[in-house]
Amino acid sequence: MTPTPSPANPAETGAIAPPEEIQPEPAFGWTPYAETINGRFAMIGFVALIVIELLTRQSFFSWLGLR
């Protein structure tokens, strides 16, 4: 017996292709998506604060009038 060549398209064999990665949906509350976004904005804000402090040579607390 000779082996039959397998088709290049998995749909032809009836095989199910692996699912694509599911992206999280935006939602309210303590969800992983919300925590990821909050963390990213916090990192951006922290870096922006450091850059502004280096450029102006004033601390954040002096801006607030606490020092």
Place of tokens 């692996």: 18
Average of per-residue pLDDT across 37-49: 96
Q: How far is CA 35 from CA 1, 23, 31, 42, in A?
A: 59, 14, 6, 10
39 pLDDT band (50/70/90 cuts)? very high
Question: Would you kindly state where each structural domain of the chain is located, as residue ranges?
Answer: 28-55
Cα angle vertex 20, ends 17, 41, to 5°? 175
57 compared with 63, residue with greater pLDDT:
57
Whether this model's pTM surpasses 0.75: no
